[in-house]
Structure 1
Amino acid sequence: MQAILSRFTVNPRQTRLLLKFLFVALAGLGIVAALLPGGGQGLPHADKLMHAGALFGFALLLDLATTRSFWRWQVPILLCYGVFIEIVQGFTTWRSASLADIAADAAGILLYWVLWRLALQRAVPHDNG
């Protein structure tokens, strides 16, 4: 991840700090959006696609923003975020909590990880010797 950041900036440390602020700001906006009435209406399973897409984006952003372990640090934070949203939605009268939404969150995180690993495998030359 450090190599990618070094291509886009002169100071990776400042970039990581900016990305952390962006992550927190977007996570806050995500909570607000999750509490608005009537999310994901129109297309079948649109709500699940929105959950997966949002957590895919959050996983990417958090992975760029920190050097901490993906599985031991980032994934628990992201999953707790998704669970928190579902708990808060359960207290509203216009939204409902759903285990399927948490599963969609986890799928978005996993999809990010799989696609990122595939991209890394293509970007890093392998020694076949």
Structure 2
Amino acid sequence: MQAILARFRLNAPRTRLILKFLFVALMLLGIVAALLPSSGESLLPYTDKFLHAGALFGFAVLLDLATPRHFWRWKVPVLLGYGALIEVVQSLTTWRSASLADLAADAGGILLYWVVWRLALQRLVPHNNG
């Protein structure tokens, strides 16, 4: 990861700080959006699940770029904790409901990011077989 960040000049402390602020700001906006009353049924099935997966995919990208901490030991628990927090807060409202399927979609978005990142990493970083 560090080699990729250095290659695209994303590992500067100032850049990482900006990414951290963006990550936190978008997470706060996500909480606000999750607490807004639902507009009803979508024309496409499972739209909500795709939105959950897409949002957590994006959060995983930002968090992975913002900090060099270990992905599975630090970033995944933070991201899943955020998804769980959203569901708990929604369960406390009368106009939204909590769903384990939403949390599973969140986990799917995080896993999708990790798989996509690993595939990209294999292409971008030359392997040293010596």
Structure 1 length-normalised TM:
0.92
Unaligned runs of 5+ in 2: none
Residues 42-79 of structure 1: CA deviation (Å, up to 9, x unaligned): 12101100000000000000000000000000000000
1:72 correspondence with 2:73: yes
Indicate the RMSD between aligned Cα atoms, in angstroms. 1.8
Q: Secondary structure at the match of 1:67?
A: coil
* Counterpart in the other structure of 1:19: 19
Residues 55 and 108, structure 1, Cα contact 8 Å, conserved in 2: yes
* C-alpha distance in 2 between matches for 1:80 and 1:69: 16
Question: Compared with structure 1, are the counterparts of its residues 78 and 10 closer, same or farther at alpha carbon in structure 2 (3 Å cutoff)?
Answer: closer
* Counterpart in the other structure of 1:29: 29
With CA pairs under 8 Å and 6+ residues apart, which has the higher RCO, 1 or 2? 2
Residues 52 and 108, structure 1, Cα contact 8 Å, conserved in 2: yes
* C-alpha distance in 2 between matches for 1:104 and 1:39: 20
Identity %: 74
* C-alpha distance in 2 between matches for 1:93 and 1:20: 32
* Counterpart in the other structure of 1:54: 55
Q: Secondary structure at the match of 1:59?
A: helix
* C-alpha distance in 2 between matches for 1:10 and 1:71: 21
Matches within 5 A, 1:1-129: 1-9=1-9, 12-38=12-38, 41-42=41-42, 43-127=44-128
- Runs of 4+ in structure 1 off by over 6 angstroms are none
Question: Would you say how many aligned residue pairs link Structure 1 and Structure 2?
Answer: 129
Structure 2 length-normalised TM:
0.91
